[in-house]
Structure 1
């Protein structure tokens, strides 16, 4: 018999992929829909949210865009920290005490010395933007809640993820959109980019989701888990691979508006704890991801 799963943030990039996954007959979980629209920053909207108690919860919802967090840190904290508190209190009032997976971010580690790569969960977090501070604060809240309320709480720290359906405010989605526009003759062969000579640990969104489900099944309560590929790739190399897949020549033009503050030059995580505990390993290659992203943007650009 399938177990019921409540997920916040279903309208987002990852949430939509999870919905597609749960539609498959072989999933061990079924989605428990909210009884009514809700806003995590409005506690009253959460009171009658669950027609029945879910067996588990994945808390995905949040303000995830770093430039927006710099622009309005108070709102970012209201959503990411106080919204999480409101959700925990509403679940407690309803009598929930099942597995609760809080989706944080690898961004909480902040600046990590290159000698300390790959980044393990033992690396002391040192967040360098309001978004990362809000996520780390919510991590502590959830772990404290697990101890105080005797809930099996787990924290996931996913690193950069890519995949179909992502907003073009994210770097690989932005590049794929522009390359699709160039290929379709809608813009010249100049690609506007930020700082692309940094490396990041990219993972396909479907591998990220597989990790979430592996943690619900086998994760140890009270633990924090990195979700990452274990490899670093430069943004430049991924853009060049996209251009090769599209069969186009392009010129990269640096756009000052796309430059981010507090950027780290290299990022590479370790997923050894996750692999040891659950047996999870990445299954989707970068080339597979990029092909799917490019194909997705080809269709989206046609509809713009």
Structure 2
């Protein structure tokens, strides 16, 4: 990219957004204009903006004239989408559709990066093979179906002339993620045991499910890399953002306990024992690597180690423990 971009980040106040700004600065330097927005800013440098207010978004677009918009807005955890399906439809599908149509009219040269989810493949992943971008979308819950609807809407708009990439990240984790997600939830229990706040027994649910985990910093780096390559990419292209490898919940927990260097027993909690509707899901990332040159920089053990250290610090305990992974 010859000229420095102006990047408008929608929903930049969340877990991914905090890492995305670092990745954008690393990729483009201080010369790039990065406009971070969130519905309720806690950072003085962020702009208050709600994607549901299309007129307000249009005003920002007209004023700032971004070259790229990254839409990170969404409900983070599938369980929250089940609790509020109307909000899931609005944030994941209806508001993004209005955003795309507004850009076609007001800023046709601006690229929209629409962040969807690998969960939209749903039942197609049941055969256990890595799913590529041409795989059938067969979502299995309200979170995934609303994400799929927004993704498909972007495909239609790309056919009408919208400059758009559809990004499908699989599970991503790392330091700073909340305990609503499995890796920090396990790490937080270990941290509380380390700090003497919990007996050395972990309560867990189903450990048989296998997921494709990627470090959030690698996800953010993939987004930044694609921005730098937009002049070489075809509008409407779809990219899985994943590691290409599956890890079971059991293996992940065993590795966290090993990293902690603690003696911890694991109890299966019947109240958490629910068979997974999707036993295994893995993403194929050949297209992303081929078209952008991106590849992951963090090993899964590095991600686990740093997430565990983050949780130990949060629990107020000592952060000494197992050796850091090489």
- Flag whether TM exceeds 0.5 (same fold): yes
Number of the residue aligned with 2:11: 9
Number of the residue aligned with 1:30: 33
Number of the residue aligned with 2:242: 228
Q: Using the TM superposition, give the Cα deviation of residue 165 of structure 1 relative to its aligned residue in structure 2, in angstroms.
A: 0.6
Number of the residue aligned with 1:250: 264
Q: Using the TM superposition, give the Cα deviation of residue 60 of structure 1 relative to its aligned residue in structure 2, in angstroms.
A: 0.8
Pairing of 1:91-240 with structure 2 (within 5 A): 91-92=103-104, 94-112=106-124, 115=127, 117-148=129-160, 150-218=161-229, 219-240=233-254
Number of the residue aligned with 2:23: 21
From the superposition, tell whether residues 268 and 17 of structure 1 become closer, same or farther in structure 2 (CA, over 3 Å).
Answer: same
Contact 2:125–2:281 at 8 Å: present in 1 too?
no
How many residues are aligned here?
302
From the superposition, tell whether residues 161 and 16 of structure 1 become closer, same or farther in structure 2 (CA, over 3 Å).
Answer: same
Number of the residue aligned with 1:64: 76
Query: 1:52 and 1:260 mapped to 2: Cα distance?
Result: 48
Out of 80-89 and 138-147, give the one that drifted further: 80-89
Q: Using the TM superposition, give the Cα deviation of residue 210 of structure 1 relative to its aligned residue in structure 2, in angstroms.
A: 1.6
From the superposition, tell whether residues 228 and 276 of structure 1 become closer, same or farther in structure 2 (CA, over 3 Å).
Answer: same
Query: 2:27 and 2:136 mapped to 1: Cα distance?
Result: 41
Secondary structure of the residue aligned to 1:46 is helix
Structure 1 vs Structure 2 CA RMSD: 2.2
Q: Using the TM superposition, give the Cα deviation of residue 97 of structure 1 relative to its aligned residue in structure 2, in angstroms.
A: 2.6
Q: Using the TM superposition, give the Cα deviation of residue 6 of structure 1 relative to its aligned residue in structure 2, in angstroms.
A: 0.6
Secondary structure of the residue aligned to 1:110 is helix
Secondary structure of the residue aligned to 2:235 is coil
Secondary structure of the residue aligned to 1:166 is coil
2:292 to 249, 274, 278: 278
1:83 to 70, 87, 95: 95
Contact 2:240–2:288 at 8 Å: present in 1 too?
yes
From the superposition, tell whether residues 159 and 259 of structure 1 become closer, same or farther in structure 2 (CA, over 3 Å).
Answer: farther
Contact 1:55–1:99 at 8 Å: present in 2 too?
yes
Q: Using the TM superposition, give the Cα deviation of residue 253 of structure 1 relative to its aligned residue in structure 2, in angstroms.
A: 2.7
Length-normalised TM-score, structure 1: 0.91
